[in-house]
Amino acid sequence: MFNSRIKIKALLETAPLGTEVTIMGWVRTFRNNQFIALNDGSTNQNIQVVASLGMLNEDTLKRITTGASLKIRGEVVESPGKGQQIELKANSIEILGDSDAEKYPLQPKKHSLEFLREIAHLRFRTNTFGAVFRVRHALAFAVHKFFNDKGFVYLHTPIVTSSDAEGAGEMFRVTTLPMEGAPKKEDGSIDFEQDFFGRSTNLTVSGQLEGELGAMGFGDIYTFGPTFRAENSNTTRHLAEFWMIEPEMAFHDLEDNMNLAEEFIKYIIDYAIENNREDLEFLDQRLADEEKQKPQAERSELGLLEKLQFVLNNQFERITYTEAIDILINSPAYKKKKFKYDVSWGIDMQSEHERYLVEKHFKKPVIVTNYPKDIKAFYMRQNDDGKTVAAMDILAPGIGEIVGGSQREERYDLLTKRMEEMHIPTKEMWWYLDTRRFGSVPHAGFGLGFERMVLFVTGMTNIRDVIPFARTPKNCEF
């Protein structure tokens, strides 16, 4: 058996003084031909290994370089030096994998996030990305724990779909037809009947419609999986492949939906704080250092942990779309013509408007409800006023829309009428409509972009830095 090691996180926590242990990991720095800072990814903390002089031959000493992997047996002792409580007095050091320091791109110095993006395969070995991806893991785990504890069924909705009804964005086509000389129909269009699935297929843009089918049997379900958008979006908030969480609940109305979404967001933030405090403290410090570079006016008022705590301790503001428009029209910013885009009832709010509401007016997460039906999807439940639908978006400071959800239209007649108005092919959607024909119930759900949540919790500012291998236009390395 090879692996009888103790992880550095456990070693530092238990500090078994006087015992001999085996650790394995990667060299962060090697100082004074004597002190090895070793990291194994279990924590941001390194363990200091002390190699007494004469113990190692010259050759082994030279091979202990930044990035090399080592297997070390040694005795756990109190550290006489400052900066750490305990250290490992090495009895034996074995080089598992050499790392040519002249070629290894990670140097014991600060690197830019842009550079680290180009070596995404190695960035897990840095403090920042170690912390970010451990927090990402904690959040993902918390998502499952939250819903599992509430009796939700984790439903695996398909990645390949033929449904393009939602119109959530441009889609990636899935096909086995040849690029050159694809079979054509008489009218010159491509004959997808000869394709693998016998029809035109795409990567999913949302699991919601299938999620609704599950909710109509299980009551409460959630999805958590990859989602694809072929939009040519080049921003710090968009990915072509991202992870989305989509709960769908039978016997829920819009208010139930909002309550669940708010409870959910607070739960996973709290989970990360409870279980990854060390990583968040590191990210908090990192953000504070970065803020120091900025001019006073652009600095945020709260530190990362303060911000998260603030979100936990305060109710999200809940306003209707109509109230939001009133606030914007009566705002000093509007009167001073600070907005690039005009405001009137019926507009789809621009990011500048959302940012004003969240960052300037309320200074906390805001849930906006009851949007005009013409700017929202066909499946949202129509309100009695005939103008609005039971939609809700949660807007978060710094990242904008983090949740989009609604109560769904459960009334068959109203739903089909709306679909016809919006040119949604009801015939192809027979399976979706069946849920409204047989035992239809009031139900609701929402979608949460997981990476945007990770951005919010880690304080990172570019979405490409919170997913291990980002898929963006013109970039599919790794």
Partner RNA sequence: UCCUCAGUAGCUCAGUUGGUUAGAGCAUCUGACUGUUAAUCAGAGGGUCCCCCGUUCAAGUCGGGGCUGAGGAGCCA
Q: How many CA atoms lie less than 13 Å away from 159 in the CB half-sphere?
A: 8
368 DSSP β-pair partners: 319, 393
CA distance 176 to 191: 12
In angstroms, give the least distance from the CB of 398 to RNA.
Answer: 9
Considering beta carbons, is residue 83 or 151 the nearer one to RNA? Answer: 83
In angstroms, give the least distance from the CB of 439 to RNA.
Answer: 27
Considering beta carbons, is residue 12 or 192 the nearer one to RNA? Answer: 12
Considering beta carbons, is residue 274 or 421 the nearer one to RNA? Answer: 421
Beta-sheet strands, E only, within 83-162: 86-97, 153-154, 160-161
CA distance 167 to 177: 24
In angstroms, give the least distance from the CB of 220 to RNA.
Answer: 20
CA distance 329 to 327: 6
Structure token digits, residue 241? 């492949």
Residue with tokens 């959630």: 222
Angstrom CA distances, 162 to 69, 319, 387, stand at 47, 36, 31
Considering beta carbons, is residue 35 or 334 the nearer one to RNA? Answer: 35
In angstroms, give the least distance from the CB of 405 to RNA.
Answer: 9
- Contact in structure between 319 and 368 (CB atoms under 8 Å): yes
Considering beta carbons, is residue 14 or 236 the nearer one to RNA? Answer: 236
In angstroms, give the least distance from the CB of 193 to RNA.
Answer: 30
Task: Tell me the CA end-to-end span of the chain in Å, nearest whole number.
Answer: 32
At 169, the amino acid letter reads G
Structure token digits, residue 471? 């898929």
In angstroms, give the least distance from the CB of 176 to RNA.
Answer: 26
In angstroms, give the least distance from the CB of 438 to RNA.
Answer: 27
Considering beta carbons, is residue 53 or 179 the nearer one to RNA? Answer: 53
Considering beta carbons, is residue 370 or 472 the nearer one to RNA? Answer: 472
Structure token digits, residue 414? 């109203």
418 DSSP β-pair partners: none
Sign of CA dihedral 89, 91, 97, 103: positive
